[in-house]
């Protein structure tokens, strides 16, 4: 039996997407991007996604009303940001809360930045500069059992991931295609204050059942954007969006930096161009937070955050969700 709020828009006063969900002191906090209504044509580079601030959502429980806690950070408060504040995540350390977010700098290059708050709902004060050496979008932060902080990120096309294959930014870089190896997300260890990387960013490998890297043409399984990592019985599970085919898939690994072996599909396509998720354990059960375009009737850049129960077997196998069944 589903909960009252399950698979329903959690808030309707604003459009929200890309939810990163966490539990702090028994309360659920959700860190989404904030879609805004703009008359901008859709394109493959995401010009229609003109988000410019962050609101934090919170729930006392999964059955309680979801609260929009108001403005937590605006692009005008971040000295290095030019535009497009996309999907964020957050981690906590030593009583502080660190919002990690992507945005285009003044040169139209996506970087990751960090803002600090004393509360899970902010407000957050940003650092003056982005994380040195960071690029692309969709940060997801895992605080491992030993206290190390790992950042995963990266997105193709408008997220600019493929533009960094040479080690520096090249907007004309060749996009992998056909039998060429698909690109994976970026991995690096993050400092305790979220201001810098402690390790050189590296690409994560996602392998098929034969131990071979997934190919660019394998759009049902290859990585596109939206990484998330959770742990289950000591194993690391990387989940992500396939973008063009609109699936959420997952892969399993023994180390936080991979390699990861493809295992299956978490969610079938939702209404809208794609989806972006997080996975969190609440009161002993696992839940998937995601978005679709139900609230706007299918407008791809006017989305709404939802959640649904996620069934994970003892061996880590995840049951595929059909979102409208």
Model confidence pLDDT, tens digit, residues 73-110: 999 999 999 999 999 999 999 999 999 999 999 999 99
Comparing CA positions, the residue from 226, 131, 238 lying closest to residue 188 is 131
Q: Which of 37-46, 120-129, 142-151 has the lowest mean pLDDT?
A: 37-46
pLDDT at 123 > cutoff 70: yes
Q: Judging by DSSP bridges, how do beta strands 27-35 and 53-59 pair with one another?
A: antiparallel
Between 3.40.50.261, 2.115.10.20, 3.40.50.850, 2.40.128.260, what CATH number should domain 15-310 receive? 2.115.10.20
Rounded distance, CA 229 to CA 86, Å? 19
Give the C-alpha separation, 2 to 249, whole Å: 23
Mean pLDDT throughout 199-206?
98
What band does 273 get if pLDDT is binned at 50, 70 and 90? Answer: confident
Closest CA to 159 of 271, 213, 240: 240
Lowest mean pLDDT across 47-56, 131-140, 204-213: 47-56
Q: What's the pLDDT tens digit per position in 153-194? A: 999 999 999 999 999 999 999 999 999 999 999 999 999 999
Catalytic residue, chosen from 203, 225, 292, 302, is 225
Q: What is the pLDDT of residue 52?
A: 95
Average of per-residue pLDDT across 248-266: 98
Comparing 28-42, 188-202, 276-290, the range with the smallest average pLDDT is 28-42
Average pLDDT over residues 59-85: 97
> Which is catalytic among the residues 18, 138, 162, 203?
18
pLDDT at 43: 63
In the residue annotation, 18 being an active-site residue is answered as: yes
Residue 220 in this model has a pLDDT that exceeds 90: yes
218 and 242 Cβ atoms separated by less than 8 Å: no
**Tell me, what's the pLDDT at 146?**
97
Q: Mean pLDDT in the chain? A: 96
What per-residue confidence (pLDDT) applies to 42?
Answer: 67
Q: Are 216 and 180 in contact (CB under 8 A)?
A: yes
Going by C-alpha positions, the residue among 135, 17, 149 that lies closest to residue 86 is 17
User: What pLDDT is recorded for position 301?
Assistant: 85
φ and ψ at 14, to 5 degrees? -140, 160
- The answer to whether the CB of 255 falls within 8 A of the CB of 237 is no
pLDDT band at 231 (very low <50, low <70, confident <90, very high): very high
Pairing of strands 89-93, 96-105: antiparallel
**Residue 37 pLDDT level (bands cut at 50, 70, 90):** confident
Q: With cut-offs at 50, 70 and 90, classify the pLDDT of residue 23.
A: very high
Is residue 225 among the annotated active site residues? yes
| Dist. CA 262–CA 264, nearest whole Å | 6
Global confidence as pTM? 0.96
């Amino acid at each position: 039996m589903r909960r009252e709020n399950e698979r329903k828009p959690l808030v309707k006063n604003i459009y929200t997407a890309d939810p990163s969900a966490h539990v702090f002191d028994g309360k659920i906090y959700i860190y989404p991007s904030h879609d805004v209504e703009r008359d901008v044509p859709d394109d493959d580079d995401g010009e229609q996604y003109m988000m410019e601030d962050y609101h934090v959502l919170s729930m006392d429980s999964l059955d309680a009303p979801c609260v929009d806690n108001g403005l937590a950070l605006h692009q005008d408060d971040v000295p290095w940001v030019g535009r497009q504040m996309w999907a964020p995540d957050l981690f906590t350390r030593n009583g502080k809360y660190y919002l990690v977010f992507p945005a285009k700098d003044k040169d139209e290059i996506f970087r990751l930045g960090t803002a600090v708050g004393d509360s899970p709902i902010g407000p957050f004060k940003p650092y003056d500069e982005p994380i040195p050496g960071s690029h692309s979008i969709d940060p997801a932060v895992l605080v491992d059992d030993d206290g190390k902080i790992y950042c995963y990120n990266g997105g193709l096309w408008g997220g600019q991931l493929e533009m960094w294959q040479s080690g520096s930014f090249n907007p004309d870089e060749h996009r992998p295609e056909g039998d060429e190896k698909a690109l994976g997300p970026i991995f690096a260890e993050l400092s305790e204050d979220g201001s810098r990387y402690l390790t050189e960013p590296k690409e994560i490998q996602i392998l098929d059942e034969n131990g071979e890297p997934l190919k660019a043409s394998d759009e049902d399984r290859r990585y596109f954007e939206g990484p998330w990592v959770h742990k289950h019985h000591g194993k690391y599970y990387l989940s992500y969006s396939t973008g063009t085919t609109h699936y959420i898939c997952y892969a399993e690994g023994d180390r936080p930096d991979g390699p990861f072996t493809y295992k299956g599909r978490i969610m079938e396509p939702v209404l809208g161009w794609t989806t972006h998720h997080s996975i969190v354990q609440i009161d002993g059960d696992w839940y998937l937070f995601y978005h679709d375009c139900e609230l706007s009737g299918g407008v791809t850049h006017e989305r709404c955050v939802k959640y649904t129960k996620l069934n994970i077997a003892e061996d880590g196998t995840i049951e595929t969700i059909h979102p409208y069944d």
